[in-house]
Each structure stands twice: as structure tokens, then as C-alpha cells.
A and B are shown apart, each in its own frame.
Chain A
Amino acid sequence: MTTVDFDPGAAAARATDAILHDTLHGGERGVVVDSPPGAGKSTLVVRAALELAGAGRPLMVVAQTNAQVDDLVLRLAEKNPDLPVGRLHSSDADAYDPALDALPQVRTSAKAADLKGLPVVLSTAAKWAHVKVDEPWRHAIVDEAYQMRSDSLLAVAGLFERALFVGDPGQLDPFSIVGSEQWAGLSYDPSASAVSTLLAHNPELPQHRLPVSWRLPASAAPLVSAAFYPYTPFRSGTDHGDRRLAFAVPSDGSGPDRVIDEAAESGWGLLELPARHTPRTDPEAVRAVATVVRRLLDRGGAAVSERTPDPAPLTADRIAVGTAHRDQAAAVRAALAELGVPDVTVDTANRLQGREYDVTVVLHPLSGRPDATAFHLETGRLCVLASRHRHACIMICRAGVTDLLDDYPSTEPVQLGTLVKFPDGWEANHAVLSHLAEHKVPWRA
């Protein structure tokens, strides 16, 4: 898959330069950037913010969650400790990361008026929606724009004249807790993503794409690209052999150990449990997940990557478990606590968005299910779960999911005027499963 003349660093730099050029000197009111997993989205946001501020143009930054805002503030402070930054926060207790209080150049306030005149002010879309200004900001950066709902953009779009929209189109779409079929097909469907509304009304806006994933290893990028981004392929920034995962303790021959070795070798592993219909918190699958995590830690893993010349130990904070539902995450946490494993992140796909780990262990969303609902088939869910890792991803799944997919072809009603998303979850699931089948290890040999 490697071509000799492809220099990922140069390709990424070219894309970034073009984006910054359009943002700083372009004539359009908006610029859209699609970024695959781990392609340096946050780095781009920070750089664009610094360049705009450096050019004397005050700007506002809109992110979706408080954690994302705090993360951007910390990155900005790290890159340029002299730049005064405003962090607008809600009036709740613990509204922002207390680490910000230690930074002298960061001013925090629950009132926008207190932050007036600062070169950069950051907050969540929800908080910005309550802000009123006499004169709009000349620039804005909207982060995670594909996870932002159209109605949420409607509430803040009056605050700025022009904006850079950055996001990952392959991750989970925004959702609403009530039906919104009534507006399906309207260009401004309030439950659609902010980017789809923006582009429907402003099709002439320049659209860019970051072409290189620095997170995903060479073993994962082709599969994730083909399965979830078929029309906008991307590459990994590293090559085969640049990253290695090795374990000090040899395999004991059990299913979990063999799947760990398979994943260390190839980047992917599928631990298959016997076919069975189970409740969501399938006790056997949950135990399998916990056992794999426990063995990953017990076997003294070491990760070699382009970041460090020496192998870095695979510690609990470098491992994450991903599930589809919160009760599954709770069950895995309980099982890990029983096995005496603290500090491993266990969360749902929604909450793992934007995060990065060395190894991920994933409970497949369709494992043990008697039906394949739209929720479990959602392309973004599987994409998030399969693209959080720098080294290896291990899926835990009951057998028979391919049959389940064939029994439940997509039956969502077709809505006129809506943009049909490709690939659909059905196809993406098949693509991932057929690849994983080559790295299958049975639970009990």
C-alpha cells in the first residue's frame, strides 16, 4: 500500500497551507475542513487561531463540549504562552478544568463582557448561544462542526462574520431525543449537522480535506478509509514497521492471549464468542473484555512508535474500552474492578470521540443482538470505535453478526431531499467484519 513518492508530511503541510490561506486571505465567508480520525484537527484549529490572532484579527472559537474547549485552551497556551486567551464558561460549579486557573494568560469568566477585547475567546456552542453582541466577531472557528446540530449553529451564527468549520464527517451524527422526520429534506433541518445546513445554503464555500491520519497505524488506515470514507480516502502518516507492540510475557495459549498476539502482530484482532442471543450487558462478553484488558496489562506490553526511540510501556492510561451503551460500559467497569484493574478508560462511542489510545478493546455494537437497529448500525458508531488506536484494536463479538446483518437489511424510510450517507452502516459493518475475519481467534480453542 505504500508508494515511494508519497511524503505524508509534505502532503499534510500542503493541505494545511491551503486551508490557512483560504481562512486568512480567502474571499468566502466560510471554509470547511473534513478531517479523518487523528489527522491533526486540533493542531489545525490551534494553528489557525494563532495565525488569526497574530494577524491582529480577534476571533471566537466554538467547540461542542467543555472538555474540548479546555483542551483547546491548554493547547493554545502551550503553543503561545504570551497570547491572552479568554475562556467563557457556564455559571455551574466546576464549569471548566481547574488547570486553567494556573495559567496567567488565561482569563475565565461566565460573562462575555468581561472578556471583551481579548484576541481569542473560547466557549461551547451552548454557552455562546446566550451571548449577545453589538458588533459581531470578524472571525470564528467552529470545531467538531459535524457533531454540532444545525439549530445550534443557528443560535450562534449571528455572532461572527466568517468562520472556519472543522470536523470529522465519519463520526457520530448529532441526534435529537424526539422525532424530527417532519423537517427531513429541508436544507435547514434543525436536527441535521451544522455542516450539511451550511453547505446546502452556501455550496460555493471552499472545502478542504486533511489527507493524513497521524494516529491510525499503517495497518488500520486502509480499512478505516475504505470502510468509512470511500470517496475521500486518506493515508496513515507512518509506515508498516514504524510502530511495534511487543509483550514481555509469552502467550499462555488462551483465547485472550492469542487475540492479543494477533492484534500486536497485525493491528487487528477479533475474539469470537459462540453465537447466542444475550441481554445488552452480556456477562460472558463483558468478562472476555475485562480478561483481555487484564492480560494486556499483565503481559508487560511495550509500544515502539515514531514519537519515542525507546519502547514505551503499555500502561492502563494508554488502553481504552469502547461500548455502544452506557450500561455496557458500567458492566465492563464493574468487571474490571473485580479483576483489580483501575484507571482504564471505559466509555461509549459518543464519549470516546476525539480521544486517542495505544490499544482499544471494543465490545462490538451488534454482539449477541437479535436485531440490527439503526442505532446499532450507525456508521459513525463503528467508525469511532474502530479508529481510536495508535497500535491495535481488539474487537470482542459473538459469532453470527454477518448473518444478522443479512437478515436485517436497512429498512429506514427514504426521505425525499435528504443527503443519502455513504456508506450505510450495513455496508460498513460488513466491510469491517470481513477484514476482521482474517484475524479471528475463538474464545476457547
Chain B
Amino acid sequence: MTLITTLARLEAVHSGRAQPAATVRHRHLSDHPLVFVPLTTAGETGAPLGALVGTDRDAPRLLVVPQPRDRDLRFQFLADLADVVLPHIDAYAESVEAAERTETDPETGKRVKVTAELCADAPQLIVPSRAGLDFVRLLGRSMRFRRTAEQDPDAPYPAPPRVPLLGRWLTHYGERARVPGSSLLLALTDVLSRHWATGQSGLEDQHLGALLAWIDPPQDLTGAEAARRAELARDADGQLLCPPAGPATDPAFDNRLLAPAIERYDRARSALAAAEDPLQADTRLAALTRAEREIRDLVESRTRPTWDAVWRGLDLLRALPAGAHVEGRWTRDRWSFTAHRDRVLAGEPPQPRRDDAVTAANKLATREREQARLEAQEALDDPLVMAGRRLAGEAFAGEVTDVVMAYSEGKRPSPRPLVTVRTDDRPRLAERAKVYRSLGGKPQSAEFVGYESDGALVLRILDKMGRGKEPEPGSVPDKGDRVCFTLFEHEQRGGAKLPDPEETPWTHGGPPGEPAPEAPDPVTEEDVL
């Protein structure tokens, strides 16, 4: 935890309210995000219990699995989910614009600009918490290798038609969420705790109710009191007033409400199966419908508060203006979305279970580059974030007290002005360290020369002054200007190109060979009730 976050958290404890950790919004928020609040069944990995999903805060679609251990009902749930999610994705996939991107020409090996289709916008998926992200990945993993009856007539338990496709999309969203700064799939608790510092631990911040209680407490309570109530307060029946944001449910709910309701449902179902005449079947079908209705009501009662909390959190975030670099990062998300759309359209197989050596290394390199880019961009977009970097000695702001013109040696002397900056910050400057400032959105670099006797810093400006002997107007700070330099670079260099997977070297096991189509997971005894 950085010093400034520690200070903000102490202030939050002292004042009883979360303190801002950012003055702008550092993540993209879509105008029509698809919110997904899933619940899972205790003790059954990957067995969904139900979900609220949709883009209209007033009319979420409720999906419920009345008997989560029944494969057919589970498939029905996934098919229903696909019916909500896939049309939403398709709507975005169809609207494209022309854009340029650089590619390596396969013949010359040079980087060339090519025109490509880019989706004009991408669908954004929002889940309440980090556990929700994992659940999206799990659903994707459980669906993408399934075979439909159309793909494989002999499949023992064919999946409903669009379920494998939903699995591929959820897998893509789950992977993209691991890229720092991406906004295709967001966990609301992560985004909220990026923008506010509460008076509780990072672990406690993962409870959406408690987090919102700190950020926006009810009038008569402090953040700590409200958070405590969100975590612990129960009604007369022993149920939490603020149910957990899931996907895991509260054990008291499971034991006292859900388990008896599912048992009633099972009994009604067996009774219906054993019905002897149409009249009896009618009555028993009504009983079964009642039992199912009861479970639907229970699931809705546990997901609706979270659903409303997610939208409240989105309102809080929307009140912040977007950071300057957010749009650029969202464009990368759009490229990622477009690329996956193209892979699906091209009929490529689903993402493999495990990355090969080259793919894994490329992913890690991309994420490290994005992490560095995100940290630099957040600081440049937001004075409060920059203040944290200044406090950590990674940047400094101050006033220019002197500018002395100087020139580089050599045949064509170029301007290398010496700029003296007085600052109260204490940057960790090594000898001849490079520092950067933003000049019209582009980084201008300078070199640390030394300290004046009064502690002021002397910098030598190195570039972005034009080609002439005299620097272009505005490219060198004037006496009296306020300037802010960082010790970290603003832009990231691309890494080296790795070999193609077919050319994986012997140190890494050699080429992976022709990819075999991945079989769906084998059916085990536990799968069939």
C-alpha cells in the first residue's frame, strides 16, 4: 500500500466516510452496460443457482435453476443466459467502422499500416465483485468445449445450440479482464475501491454492501457503522439484511430457506411423475409450479439488493468525469472485442484449455506493458494520483526559477536548455536520471544535472524542441511556469517479437504440434443424478 493510500484510509477512519482516491474516472463505463449478478450453489462447483441479468436497471431478467443438480435444468439456464447475452453482443458486433492498425507484412517483415474493421463500440459486462469475475471464467470454461447435437449427433448430453458460443465469449471476457486497465468486464468492487479509499481493509472492500456503505453512508450513520450493518445485520428470521453480492450465498439462507424450498420442489416433481390420471397431474403440476415460483422468489430476493447496489455504484462512478486516457484504453478493448468476433466468424476452435508457451509469454508481456501504461496514464490524468507518485519520490512538481540557454556539442549544435526547478517534493533522482513531462500530450524528456545550493533541481531539456537552432516557442518552460516531471516513462516500448508457436525452441519443449480438437470434459458419476 502506498503512503498516500494509507493516509487516505486513515482519513476515512477519522471522518467516517470513504475518501476520494481519484479525481477522475479511470475506467470506461458504457452507457448500456450488461449487468450480471449470478448466484452459485454451495458445494457444487460451477452449478449456477440463478442470476439477474440485463441492461435495464428497472427490468432485470431473472434466471433460476430450481434444482441446480439437474443437468437439464442447468442447460436450460445456460441457454436462457445465452438468449440474453448473445443478442446483446451481436448488436455491437454488427456495427463497425474503418480503422488503421499496424501489422507485420508477412513477405517483407516490415511494419505496415492496414485498414481493418473495428467495432464502433463494444458491449461491457459488469459483475458485482471479484468472485463474480472468477465465476464468469468458470462458466466460460464449463461451456466452451460442450458439443451441440448439430456439431456431434452422438454427444451423450448435447448442449443447447448457442451455449458453446456463450462459453467462448465469457472466456474471452474473463481473459481480457486480466489485462490491467481493460474495461470489457469489470468487477464493481475493484472499480469502486480504485476511486475511493475506505477505512477498512482491502479484503473487506470486496464486500459490495460494506464498500458502498463507506462511500455513501446513510445520513445518520458513519461509514464504519453502516459497513458493519451491511456485513452483519439480520432480520427476525436470521437472514442477512444485505445479502452477499455472490456468487456464494449466505449459509443461513441455504439452510433455512433454500434447502427446504428445493426439497419441496423435488417432492412436487416426483409426485407429478407418479400422477395416475390427468386430473391428478393437473393439480400436481400446479403444486410444482408453486414450488418453482417459491424458489424464483427466493433467488430474486437475494439478487435484487445486489442488482440495485451495482447500479447505485455505477451512478457514483458516472458522477466522476472520465480521465483523458480512458477513451484510448477503451479503443484497445474494442480491438480485442473485434478480434474475437473475427475468430468466431472465421470458424476457429474455442480457446484451448491451456496456453502454449508462446501465447503465455505474449500474454504476460502484454499485461506487463499495459500495467506500466496504466500506472503512467492514471498519474498523468489525475493530479491526486500524481500526488501519490510525488509523495513516493517518483515525480516532482515545482516552479521554474531560471532558464539558461545551452547547446549540445557537435557539428550541428542543438538546443539543450538548462532549467532550474524549485520543488518541495523529494524525488529519488540518481545521477543523470531521465525525467519526463507531458508537452501537448507527448512526453518531453530531460536529464537531471544536479542540485543548486538552495536545493533547487537543474534539468537539461533533451528533445521535442524542433529541428532548428532555436527551440520552438512553447517547447521550453519559462521562468515562473509550474511544471511537473515524472521519473517514469509515459509511453511503453513494444517488446521483442517472440517466435511463432510452430517455432517454439527446444528449451521450451519444441513446437506444440497440430492442435487436436479439445474434447469436452468426460462425464463422471457425479455429473448424473
Contacts and interface: CB of A to CB of B under 8 A. Distances in A.
Interface of A: 29-30, 94, 126, 129-130, 150-151, 153-155, 157-158, 176-180, 182-183, 186-191, 194, 197-198, 201-202, 326-327, 330
Given A129-B496, A183-B355, A154 B178 contact: no
B508 A201 contact: yes
23 contacts: A150-B508, A153-B507, A155-B361, A155-B496, A155-B498, A157-B505, A158-B499, A177-B368, A177-B372, A178-B364, A178-B367, A183-B364, A186-B354, A186-B355, A186-B360, A188-B357, A188-B360, A188-B361, A188-B508, A190-B361, A190-B365, A198-B507, A201-B506
Nearest to A333: B428
A145 to B, nearest CB: 11
Contacts of A189: 360
A180 B367 CA distance: 10
B498 A154 contact: yes
A207 B495 CA distance: 32
A163 to B, nearest CB: 8
A327 B364 contact: no
Given A157-B506, A201-B507, A330-B393, A191 B364 contact: yes
B358 interface: yes
Contact of B509 (A176, A187, A330): A187
Interface in B303-329: none
A322 to B, nearest CB: 17
Which among B178, B357, B509 has the greatest number of chain A C-beta atoms within 10 A? B357
A324 to B, nearest CB: 15
B368 A176 contact: yes
B298 to A, nearest CB: 33
Given A151-B364, A154-B508, A178-B180, 16 more contacts: A29-B506, A150-B361, A151-B360, A154-B361, A154-B504, A155-B361, A155-B499, A158-B503, A176-B368, A178-B178, A179-B178, A188-B360, A197-B507, A201-B508, A327-B393, A330-B428
B507 A154 contact: yes
B371 interface: yes
B499 A197 contact: no
Nearest to B427: A330
A157 B507 contact: yes
A177 B357 CA distance: 19
B360 A94 contact: no
B505 A190 contact: no
A4 to B, nearest CB: 43
Contacts of B464: none
Contacts of B361: 150-151, 154-155, 188, 190
Contacts of B393: 327, 330
Contacts of A126: 496
Contacts of B354: 186
B228 interface: no
B432 interface: yes
Contacts of A150: 361, 508
A155 B392 CA distance: 34
